[in-house]
Every structure is written in structure tokens, then in C-alpha cells.
Amino acid sequence: MKLGQRLLIFYFLILGLVGWFVLDLVFGQAKPLVRQSAEETLVDAANLLAEIVASDAANGEIVITPALRDALNRYAGRTPDADIWGLKKTRIHTHVYITGPTGTVLFDSRGRDEGKDFSRWNDVHLTLQGRYGARTTRSDPQDPSTSVMYVAAPIRHDGSLIGVISLGKPGRAIEPFVQRAERYLMVYGGLALLVCLLLGGLLSWWLGRRVNHLRRYAEAVANDQRPAPPVFRGRDEIRDLADAVTAMRRRLEARAQLEDNVTLLTHEMKSPLAAIRGAGEILAEEVRDPA
């Protein structure tokens, strides 16, 4: 496997692991963030309605006047034609109920729970104790989509706690926003991963191209050729290695030239020395034999 391919695989593995970790973390936070935003809105609405209900109180007790009951019932039956960032809202999903100081339901926008004791539900129980009351309850314990988030606010009259108003938001009303956020995350996360992969492929090709140029140059030098040194833009380790190979080639050429010169000089000196040696041997023989 080529170096560029190995780098691309290694880069993609790291990128994939980091991308998976980030997307998993964001996906895990998408639903809680949407629920937190919805809860904050319910808190504001519950406190607003608590003040409206408190304005009709008499003798320290909650009075559900016909006008208030009709207004809340009309509110529950409204059909808003709202376009919320591309999502249509055509009905009111908020459930409203009001309890007295003992937790007995005085009003229920669904008309099913009036007269029941809700004092043990956390939203009512905690609010009657002067604390922040909220709960999430499933109508079907096995089905998470049936959960309803309730937020309560105290109803006060002349400083005294006289009741609780609770607003509930079904999980099904929040789910479309969660799903849209998850789709956006998938699309943009996939595009980001694809772009990073393309950039990684480009980086791998660029690095492999530089390495291949250097490899071909080194092979030509090893085959006693005299190629032109490769030209690399920018100063990095590959260019430094190419310069080192060029310097090594020049040193080897200089050494080879020196060896050739020594060989030539030795050859040129060998013939005169042989002639002188032969002449010396002849002269020596003549001196020993004067005849």
C-alpha cells in the first residue's frame, strides 16, 4: 500500500472517530436542549396565567369565574395557523389545570380531572411547599412518546399561597423540532465529513506526489544517471531530503572523478617508470659483464 493511501486511511479513521464522538454528543444534547427551551417557555406562561387567576381571587380563595373558564376553554380550542421555522402548528397542545391549596383540581382544560386530588404529583406537591414544581409523566409507561412535561406556578393572593396552576406540554409536540434538529445535524455533519475527506484526499495526493518525485530522483541517482534535482515549492522535510540526496550525489560524483584522475595519473606514470626500470636493469647487466 502506498504512503498516500496509508495516510488517507489513517486520517479518515481519526476524522471518523472524532466526527462520530461529536455527533453522538450533539445528538444526545439535542432533545434535552429543546425540552429545556420548552420548559422555560412554560414557566413564563404559567406565571402569567397565575397572575390572571389571582386577579379573580376573593377572600383568599381561587374563584373560577365563568369568564375565566370560557377564556381557558377557548384557548384550548384555538387553531393557530403558525409557521415556526418551517413547521406548521395548527392546534394548542398545552394542558392547563388549576388546583386549590390542598391539591384538589378546580379546573381542567381537558374537562376530565376536575375534583381529583393531585397533591402527590410533583408539580403540585413541590409548588405547595414553596419550591419549583415540575414533572414528566407518561400516559403509557412503555411508550416514551406519550410523556408530558408539566410546569407549575404558585397562585398567590395578598402574599398567601392559595393554589397552583400547571401547564403541560406533550412530548409529541416537541418531537418534530427534535427530529428537524437531528436531520440538520445529520446533513451538515455528513457534508462536513465529506469535505474533510476530500481535503484529506487532496493532502494525500499532494504529499504522495512529492514523495514520488523524490523517489524517482533517488532511483535515477542510484542507477548512475545525472537527473536534474527535483524542484519543490516551500521549505519542508521532503525538500530538505531532496537537497541532501543532491549533495550526496555531487559528493559521490566528485569522489568518482577523483578516483578516475588517480587511475589516469597512475596509468600515465606506469609506462615511464617501466621504461626507466628496464633501462636500469640493462645498465646493471652491462656493468657486471665488461666484455
Name the band, by pLDDT with cuts 50, 70 and 90, for residue 4: low
Question: What CATH number is associated with residue 70?
Answer: 3.30.450.20
Residue 210 is predicted with a pLDDT of 78
**Coil, strand, or helix at residue 154?**
strand
Mean pLDDT of 51-65: 90
- Domain interval for residue 168: 27-187
Q: Is residue 241 part of a domain?
A: no
Mean pLDDT of 176-202: 82
Residue 173 has pLDDT above 60, yes or no: yes
Residue 228 is predicted with a pLDDT of 74
CA angle 222, 228, 232 (to 5 degrees): 105
**C-beta separation of 12 from 18 below 8 A:** no
Q: Is residue 15 part of a domain?
A: no
Name the band, by pLDDT with cuts 50, 70 and 90, for residue 2: low
Q: Is residue 143 part of a domain?
A: yes
Q: Is residue 228 part of a domain?
A: no
Q: Is residue 46 part of a domain?
A: yes
Mean pLDDT of 213-222: 77
Residue 176 is predicted with a pLDDT of 83
Residue 291 has pLDDT above 60, yes or no: no
Q: Is residue 273 part of a domain?
A: no
Q: Is residue 135 part of a domain?
A: yes
Total domain count, the chain = 1
User: What DSSP line would sit under 159-188, residue for residue?
Assistant: TEEEEEEEEEEEHHHHHHHHHHHHHHHHHH
Alpha helices in the chain (DSSP H): 3-54, 66-76, 122-128, 171-222, 237-288
Determine whether 19 is exposed, middle or buried from the number of CB atoms within 10 Å of its CB (0-12, 13-18, 19+): middle
Name the band, by pLDDT with cuts 50, 70 and 90, for residue 195: confident
Give whichever of 81-95, 131-145, 154-168 has the largest mean pLDDT.
154-168
Mean pLDDT of 178-191: 82
Please indicate, yes or no, whether the overall pTM of this predicted structure exceeds 0.85.
Answer: no
- Looking at per-residue confidence, does 215 or 46 come out higher? 46
Q: What phi and psi values does residue 97 have, to the nearest 5 degrees?
A: -145, 150
Tens-place pLDDT, residues 219-232: 777 777 777 777 76
Q: Is residue 192 part of a domain?
A: no
The one-character DSSP state at 115 is T
